[in-house]
Amino acid sequence: MAATRPARDGELIQIVDSALADAARRAGDWLACRPGCTQCCHGVFAISPLDALRLKDGLAALSEADPVRASEVRQRAEASVAGQAAEFPGDPVTGILGESELDQDRFERFATDEPCPALDPATGACDLYAARPMTCRIFGPPVLSEDGLGMCELCFVGASEAEILAAEMHLTHAPLEDALTEEAEQAGAPRGQTIVAYALLR
């Protein structure tokens, strides 16, 4: 039996999307993110089992609403996986990323220009926007991590440090996300991180 997405994932999405909306309001015109800007849609990144389930549900919903677009997303995912398999830093069959130091180092250089399969190359829009992973939901505004304050390089060009700090995205979702990820794994979701292309083909 396939794993199902935890019921409280909608609550998690609401928390994160509200934090993004608040940061975007404070950032104003410093935030360059606009429809059609696709820089952050190129280059693979790790996603959680919870993200993978959400994407799978999103693709299923798209299949009902627009079978042609859904088929195009699948075709892009298949092409992406086929092109990356030989260099994949993990299990190329399951799509689970390796956790060794060597695998993590390889992942830093892996498919850095690869377009996301959910990205419509004709419109520059995300075909699975409502189901996008958490990384996509917090990208753009300044976010504080162990590496410091990071943001999209296209945003806050010429802004002062004070202006950047004033727009910091305040995130409180990590405990709930961790709990829901564990719940998803206990329900049968593949353990370990993967990438969008593999998640769409499971």
What is the rounded end-to-end Cα distance, in angstroms, of the chain? 13
Task: Kindly state the tokens that stand for 14.
Answer: 């609401």
Residue (of 82, 143, 146, 66) closest to 114 by Cα position: 82
Domain-by-domain residue ranges, the chain? 9-201
Q: What is the pLDDT along the chain (202 residues), one digit of tens a residue?
A: 578 899 999 999 999 999 999 999 999 999 998 888 999 999 999 999 999 999 999 999 999 999 999 999 999 999 999 999 999 999 999 999 999 999 999 999 999 999 999 999 999 999 999 999 999 999 999 998 888 888 899 999 999 999 999 999 999 999 999 999 999 999 999 999 999 999 999 8
